[in-house]
Structure 1
Amino acid sequence: MGRHELASQRRKSSALMAAVIAPVAVFFAVGGSTHPTAAKEAAPVVAESDSPVGLQLVAAPTDYLRQDTPVGVAAASRMRMVSRFLPAGVASERGLQIRTIQAARSISDAFPAIHQIGGVRADALRWHPNGLALDVMIPNPGSAEGIALGDSIVAYVMENAGRFGLQDAIWRGMYYTPGGGAQRGGYGHYDHVHVTTTGGGYPSGSEVYLR
C-alpha cells in the first residue's frame, strides 16, 4: 500500500472517530453530573402569563435527583410541572365573593398545615354573612408552632394585600391593615386569623384563580 493511500485511510478514520465522539461529548455536557453534590440547582423557568395550558416549569428541590438517576434524564428531572391554576382549598366557597375565594385558595395552597377555614356564617357584622371574611383556624394556637404559623399567615396576606383586596387581618389582639400596619387592642382572635377582603362581587362560575 502506497504512502498516499495510507494517509488517506488515516484521515478517514480520524474523521469517523470525531463524528462519533462529538455527539457523545455534547450529550454529557447537557446531561450534567449524576452525583447529587455536583449537580447545580436549576434556575426556575416561568411560563408566560398567557400560556394556553396554564402550566409553569419550576426548579425541583436539590434532592430531587438521586445518585442512580440516568445521565440522559438528569437535566430534565431538575424541572417539574406545576399548574398555574389554584384548586379549591379547605374552605367552603359557598357565598364567598371573588377576592375572598382567591385569598382562601391561596392560603390553603401556601399553608398545608391549615385544615379548616371558615367563611360565610351568621354574625352581627356584615363581613361573614356577605362573603367578605375568612376565619383561618390555627392548629394548637397557643403553642410556639401555632403562634408562628398564625404570624406567617398574617405576613402572607399583608404581602399579597393587593391581590386579595385585603381590608384587614386580626390575630392575637392585633389589628392589621395594608395602609396602617398593626394596632394593638382588645381584638381577640387567639385561635384563628381573621381575614377581611373588599369582595369584588359574587362569582359567576367562569372565574380563574391563579397562583
Structure 2
Amino acid sequence: MGRHSLAKKRRKSPVVLASVLGPAAVFFAVGSDMQPSKDAVKSASVDEVAPWDVEIVAAAPMNSFPAPIVGQVSLSSGPDTVIAASRYRTVDRTLPVGLAPERGLQVKTILASRAITAAFPEIQSIGGTRPDALRWHPNGLALDVMIPNAGTAEGIALGNEIVDYVLRNASRFGMQDAIWRGAYYTPNGAQRGGGYGHYDHVHITTTGGGYPTGNENYYR
C-alpha cells in the first residue's frame, strides 16, 4: 500500500476526538471549580478569605438610668419604655441657708426665711430672733424682711410682692400674720385698721412648728 493509504488509517475523525476529549474537558473544568488547588489556597491572604456563616451585627447602645427628676418624672419599668438618658437631670430642691440668722428660730420660720431669700434676690437683710416686749421675735416665731428703698415705688412694689408670696404659701410657712405699711394680713387677707406701722420692712409671724433637731430638710 502507498503512503497515502497509511496516513488515512492513522487519522482520527474530528467527531470522534470531540466525543472523547469533550467530557474530559468538562470534568477537569468542573473539578477545578469544586476543589481549589493547594497553591491557590496558600496564595490567598487572611484578609482575602471571608469567614463562612458569620454575621457582624452592630451592638445596641446600653441604656443608663440616672436618677429621676424629683417630683416631675415617673419612670416605668416596662420593656417598651425607652427614654434617652440625656433627658434626665437631677434637681436639687434643697433650700440653702437664708439671710436670717437661724439660731433660735423655729422650723417654719426657718423655712420662710430660706424661701424668701431664694425667691427675692433683691433682699439683703432679714432679721430673726431678738429681744422684744412681745414674744414673737424672742421665741423664734417672727421675721423682719428689710425692704431696700422702702419709700420708693420700687420698694413698695417689692414689699407688696413679698406679702403676696407669703399669703400664697401661708399653709406651707405656717403663716400667722404679716404686717406691711400699716396693714395687717392673715391667711384670709388684709385686715385694715391702721396704726400697724412697718414701713421699712415686712414683718412675718409663723406658728413655729418647734425648734429644729438638726435633722430637718428644707425644700423649695
Query: What corresponds to 1:153 in structure 2?
Result: 162
- One-letter amino acid of the counterpart of residue 124, structure 2: H
Greater mean alpha carbon deviation, residues 171-180 or residues 198-207: 171-180
Matches of 1:124 and 1:192, distance apart in 2 = 18
Query: What corresponds to 2:98 in structure 1?
Result: 89
Matches of 1:79 and 1:117, distance apart in 2 = 36
Instruction: Give unmatched runs, 5+ long, in structure 2.
Output: 1-67, 75-85
Tell me whether 1:196 sits opposite 2:205 in the alignment.
yes
Tell me whether 1:47 sits opposite 2:56 in the alignment.
no
- One-letter amino acid of the counterpart of residue 96, structure 2: P
Tell me whether 1:107 sits opposite 2:116 in the alignment.
yes
- Shift in Å, 1:89: 1.2
Map of 1:50-69 to 2, 5 A cutoff?
A: none
Tell me whether 1:164 sits opposite 2:173 in the alignment.
yes
- One-letter amino acid of the counterpart of residue 106, structure 2: Q
Query: What corresponds to 2:146 in structure 1?
Result: 137
What CA RMSD, in Å, does the superposition of the two structures yield over aligned residues?
2.7
Query: Which of these two proteins has the greater Rg computed from alpha carbons?
Result: 2
**Deviations 1:19-58, CA, capped at 9 Å, x for gaps:** xxxxxxxxxxxxxxxxxxxxxxxxxx95238x9xxxxxxx
- One-letter amino acid of the counterpart of residue 70, structure 2: A
Q: TM-score, normalised by structure 2?
A: 0.61
Structure (1/2) with the larger strand percentage: 1
SS of 2:133 mapped into structure 1: coil
SS of 1:136 mapped into structure 2: strand
Query: What corresponds to 2:13 in structure 1?
Result: none
- One-letter amino acid of the counterpart of residue 47, structure 1: V
Matches of 2:190 and 2:183, distance apart in 1 = 10
Q: TM-score, normalised by structure 1?
A: 0.63
Matches of 2:201 and 2:182, distance apart in 1 = 11
Question: Residues 112 and 46 from structure 1, CA distance in 2 versus in 1: closer, same or farther, beyond 3 angstroms?
Answer: same
Matches of 2:216 and 2:70, distance apart in 1 = 20
Query: What corresponds to 1:41 in structure 2?
Result: none
Matches of 1:196 and 1:186, distance apart in 2 = 18
Matches of 1:80 and 1:171, distance apart in 2 = 40
- One-letter amino acid of the counterpart of residue 123, structure 2: I
Query: What corresponds to 2:196 in structure 1?
Result: 187
Question: Residues 180 and 48 from structure 1, CA distance in 2 versus in 1: closer, same or farther, beyond 3 angstroms?
Answer: closer
SS of 1:104 mapped into structure 2: helix
Runs of at least 4 residues off by over 3 Å = 78-82
Instruction: Give unmatched runs, 5+ long, in structure 1.
Output: 1-44, 52-75
Matches of 1:183 and 1:132, distance apart in 2 = 22
Length, aligned pairs only: 146
Tell me the percent identity.
68
